[in-house]
A and B are shown apart, each in its own frame.
Chain A
Amino acid sequence: MSDQVPVLRLEGIVKTFPGVRALDGVSFDVRPGEVHALMGENGAGKSTLMKVLGGIHAPNEGQIFIAEEPVTMTSPMQAKAKGVVFIHQELSLADELTVAENIFLGELPLKSFGRVDWATLYARTDDILKKLNVRFTAKTRVGDLSIANQQMVEIGRALTVSPRAVIFDEPTASLTDAEKVVLFDVIADLQSQGVGIVYISHRMEEVFKMTDRISVLRDGQYRGTLETAETNEDEVTKLMIGRSLDLSRNETEHEFGEVALEVRGLSCGQQFQDVDFAVHKGEVLGFYGLVGAGRTAIAETVFGLRTPSAGTILINGKEERINSPIDALRLGISLVPEDRKDQGLVLGMNCRDNMTLPQVGDLTAGPFVSDGAEIAIFDQYRDKLDIRTPGWRQLVGNLSGGNQQKIVIGKWLSMRPDVLIVDEPTRGIDVGSKSEIHNLIRELAAQGYAVIVISSEMPEVLHVSDRIVAMYSGKVMREFTAQDVTEDNLIQAISGLGDDKAA
């Protein structure tokens, strides 16, 4: 197989953003009929690489080859014309249009005077749907389909051309097991036609079942390619996270204080159901699970951003109703949100004003905001968190991801909460800052804060948590202590396999 001309090859791709080297010399190739896994942690550069491939970002260095011909990608449409198609994790379909219209969007077959040739459209759509082995028809409205079927439509789009390479970005993230089987059949079918597949996934068992080779990215760097048949999960994991970053298991045993926050039978519609947990003062409680497992929704409910459909929340042993973030702040709960740029910061504001935003109403001298009080808080948390910025006047948007995240953490820490919830504390930030933030979380617990850490990165959860709640599809599957958790058990619990709570 290895003597075949690769359908797609990347050589020495470098992409830098202000302050970040997002891709640092990435090379890999996809052969015809091969399924090639691309793995790496969040922030490792997978999505940037895809954007470079799709022409959304121009690389600073390096070259893309299609069938060994150098190409310059300028847009996803152009990439598709060259036979490189993307199946995105987030669907980009028009709900109000039919399956056929969505599949041929932008390239509807036409008759004279620009009229749509519906007969041809439906006939060609039917051909594609037959290949996909689905039950819905070309005339079904996309908004009426399940997520899994919408994904099939997305895949159908890729089949309107004869693709050379198809890139799947976390395709199974929202699929049930039965639906996955159909997807895997489609992939096998493409494979048999000599199409090269890039398969981006976090799920080891899928990768080992599906793929021929595995390439690993870490912190924007290409770490190597392994033959799937000749490697194992350990080796891949090591490539993915084996860095100087200390991610040893948290094994410190220490005394906790009283229960700071307890949740009983909490449900929120489809998001999560019947969730129980408690976090003590001085404890770090980790929430681990796949994206969409309901972890963030729980945090948002406790913080008053969602209204629970059932259950109770107890703060320091007292039942409370939390209807808004204002209530949550009053009760001593802070949330460092998942999405730094959309939820955490006002990018056009300076560092100080961002940090003091939740309490600006209290930092007054007469009718005016007290400059001194604000600067005092900023200085205190800049020193405490080692935030590197030329000064408080610097716009937050100009800081690196790690420093931005520290501003967000500082913002919530300066509220002096009893319970600090941190959602994806180190997403998309560099290794050094990661390690600092991990230490900070441990330190906060040692100082008596009750900390909840939500993370999609297993090493991170294992590194910082005293206890770990494993979630799958809106339910708490199992609770582990730092002493009794194993990676295998944890993976099983969040995949919905094996033991549930009862075991």
Chain B
Amino acid sequence: MKLTKQSVGTFLAKQGILVAFAVFMIGFALANQRFIDIDNIAGVIRSSAILGVMALGVTFVVIGGNLDLSVGSMMSFSTIVVLDLHDKIGPALAIPAMFGLTLLLGAFIGFLVGYLKLNSLIVTLGMLSAIHGLTLTWSGGKNMDIADKSGTWFSVFGQDRLLGIPMPILIFALLAAILGLVMAKTPFGRKVYAVGGNGQAATFSGIPRARIVFFTYLVSAFCVATAGLLQASRSLGSQNTVGQGMELEVLAAVILGGASLLGGSGTIFKTVIGVLILGFIQNGLLLVGLDFYVQYIVTWAIIILAVWLDVAAKRGSLWSPIA
């Protein structure tokens, strides 16, 4: 095939993310040998696990054709709640109680978006703020710490290893495997694709659209609760804002993985890839000596780039002079 300006454009439009990723990786590896060090790689995966767990749930929501911008502030809520309850009712009760409360929040969002058919962007943006307020009300605005940090088994989820593998990575992998199967192999997963791909056709096929959307938010809330557990268990203490801004990182990972914001496409496996890409890019930026805060700018740039390439792939060109 002749290499024309147009064919390069089409290729970039379709494979742009991988190209960009490869360029980044090679650049980082050349700039700093440590980047491809096995310890560094394991470290990146480990530190991506919490974000990754949240991204798994948001993948369900996005494939179902909606957005979830509340996951960051919901994760703060879960973390604060489980830490607070840990000292009040003990870890064995605190964990299920926290899961129950987080699922309740998810159910509320699912009800608003699924059954009342409210716009998911507005609902979850509103919930981002509302849940933040809820968290602050719960904690009284103070940081939450476990009193006896060395005397609790609660740290197993965040700090222990099993078979030499850090627990957060194991839990992330296990959840990814289970949810990957649910998405790809179960009737529920199929219905999520159908509802996100063409809601009207799904309705005509006898698929209860509202209920499916409702359940995608429950899955998302379950993942957030798990992420909150990992976060709380790792640090045994937390600020009220621990998850702040993560909604955008999560969304970036999901889009990087190739899920379309229009719904109906994407996979759990690809989201895992997206999470890792994001993690490695952020790690690489640190290793080449850039300030930590640069990653906020980069995350933003990645979202814009990914959305642009998603649209470009559909259109078949990077640029369109008419709307």
Partner-binding segment picked from B53-61, B100-108, B115-123, B180-188 = B180-188
A357 CA / B188 CA spacing, docked (Å): 11
Beta-carbon contact of B206 and A326 below 8 Å: yes
Beta-carbon contact of A346 and B187 below 8 Å: no
A305 CA / B202 CA spacing, docked (Å): 12
A343 CA / B191 CA spacing, docked (Å): 15
Beta-carbon contact of B187 and A411 below 8 Å: no
Beta-carbon contact of B207 and A357 below 8 Å: yes
Interface string of A333-373 (1 = CB under 8 A from B): 00101000011111111000100011011011001110000
A357 CA / B264 CA spacing, docked (Å): 14
Beta-carbon contact of A348 and B190 below 8 Å: no
A23 interface residue (CB < 8 Å to B): no
Interface string of A399-442 (1 = CB under 8 A from B): 00000000000010000000000000000000000000000000
| Chain B neighbourhood of A360, CB < 8 A | 187, 190-191
Beta-carbon contact of A346 and B204 below 8 Å: no
Q: Which of B163-203 contact A (CB under 8 A)?
A: 181, 185-187, 190-191, 193-194, 197-198, 200-203
| Chain A neighbourhood of B197, CB < 8 A | 346-349
| Chain B neighbourhood of A368, CB < 8 A | 181, 185-186
Beta-carbon contact of B322 and A75 below 8 Å: yes
A353 CA / B204 CA spacing, docked (Å): 15
A398 interface residue (CB < 8 Å to B): no
Beta-carbon contact of B187 and A324 below 8 Å: no
Q: Answer whether A349 and B204 are a contact pair too, CB < 8 Å, given A75-B322, A364-B187, A368-B186.
A: no
Other-chain contact of A357, B181, B185, B190 (Cβ < 8 Å) = B190
Interface size class of A (residues with CB under 8 A): 20 to 34
Q: Answer whether A325 and B204 are a contact pair too, CB < 8 Å, given A346-B193, A347-B197, A353-B190.
A: yes
Q: Which of B197, B204, B208 has the most CB of A within 10 A?
A: B204
A207 interface residue (CB < 8 Å to B): no
B320 interface residue (CB < 8 Å to A): no
B265 interface residue (CB < 8 Å to A): yes
Beta-carbon contact of B201 and A345 below 8 Å: yes
Other-chain contact of A325, B193, B198, B206 (Cβ < 8 Å) = B206
B33 interface residue (CB < 8 Å to A): no
Q: Considering only CB atoms, which chain A residue lies closest to B194 in the complex?
A: A346
A363 CA / B187 CA spacing, docked (Å): 8
Q: Which of A337, A357, A363 has the most CB of B within 10 A?
A: A357
Other-chain contact of B190, A303, A325, A335, A369 (Cβ < 8 Å) = A369
| Chain B neighbourhood of A361, CB < 8 A | 187, 191
| Chain B neighbourhood of A363, CB < 8 A | 187
Q: How far is the CB of A424 from chain B (nearest CB, A)?
A: 14
| Chain A neighbourhood of B264, CB < 8 A | 346, 348-349
B137 interface residue (CB < 8 Å to A): no
Other-chain contact of A348, B185, B191, B207, B265 (Cβ < 8 Å) = B265
Q: Considering only CB atoms, which chain A residue lies closest to B181 in the complex?
A: A368
Q: How many residues of B contact A (CB 8 A)?
A: 22
B150 interface residue (CB < 8 Å to A): no
Other-chain contact of B186, A345, A346, A369 (Cβ < 8 Å) = A369
B4 interface residue (CB < 8 Å to A): no
Q: Answer whether A344 and B204 are a contact pair too, CB < 8 Å, given A75-B322, A368-B185.
A: yes
A75 CA / B322 CA spacing, docked (Å): 10
Other-chain contact of A324, B186, B200, B201, B206 (Cβ < 8 Å) = B206
| Chain A neighbourhood of B198, CB < 8 A | 342, 345-348
| Chain A neighbourhood of B207, CB < 8 A | 357-358
Q: How far is the CB of B112 from chain A (nearest CB, A)?
A: 21
| Chain A neighbourhood of B191, CB < 8 A | 360-361
A329 interface residue (CB < 8 Å to B): yes
Beta-carbon contact of B186 and A344 below 8 Å: no
Residues in chain B within 8 A of chain A (CB atoms): 181, 185-187, 190-191, 193-194, 197-198, 200-208, 264-265, 322
- Known contacts A326-B208, A342-B200, A349-B193; 9 further A-B pairs (Cβ under 8 A): A305-B203, A325-B205, A325-B206, A346-B197, A346-B198, A348-B198, A349-B197, A361-B187, A364-B187
A-B contact pairs, 6 of them (CB 8 A): A75-B322, A325-B203, A328-B206, A343-B200, A345-B201, A348-B198
7 A-B pairs with least C-beta separation: A346-B197, A325-B206, A368-B185, A361-B187, A358-B205, A346-B198, A357-B205
